[in-house]
A = this chain, B = another copy of it.
């Protein structure tokens, strides 16, 4: 038998997934606006961020309401408090997409420094991590969550690679400095998006297994 509370929890999960899809789109469009030199698209990302923020507030208020009215216990209580933390991460990922879009607009006004290869690769990994972390939350799938956490290393490595390559440009030709610095920022923003996805995945593992994975040491290598 499905209770009103079950339906409300189902709607909460749907809203979180919807917020996640909006964040994913913002990330994809922000990087596309850079790669395709489409500042119109970048401005759209910036304009749309308030929708992500509005959904964050809406989910937060809904969680508070459920805590007050339904007085949930055990698993449901933990799910709701985790949801409140997760949407904070999602909201910050949306802000980072906006930051990428802002740097893209600046970069699109100058000649292209080099074709973007690693940045789109990093972005695809980070977006996949965000998507899978939320799927893991909704399905309670710790295996998927652990897989998200593992992928964070790839993004970190690509970020270092991008940084070193751009440093080389800056050293060779000081005229490239302002552009190269902006691209290193974008790379760092994507790395932070992946970090937020990792945080979400760690919270999912904790939620399901009661293990505080976010405080465990990373294996070497």
Contact = CB atoms under 8 A, between A and B. Distances in A.
Interface residues of A, number: 30
A38 interface: no
Contact of A64 (B68, B77, B85, B214): B77
B57 A67 contact: no
Interface string A42-84: 0000000010011011000001100110010110011001001
Q: How many copies does the complex hold?
A: 2
30 contacts: A50-B215, A53-B212, A53-B214, A53-B215, A54-B215, A56-B215, A57-B212, A63-B81, A64-B77, A64-B78, A64-B81, A67-B67, A67-B77, A67-B81, A68-B73, A68-B74, A68-B77, A71-B71, A81-B84, A84-B84, A84-B85, A85-B85, A88-B88, A91-B214, A163-B181, A167-B170, A170-B171, A171-B171, A171-B174, A188-B188
A15 to B, nearest CB: 17
A193 to B, nearest CB: 14
Contact of A177 (B88, B167, B174, B181): B167
Contacts of A85: 84-85, 88
Most buried by B among A50, A81, A91, A177: A81
A186 to B, nearest CB: 14
A43 to B, nearest CB: 15
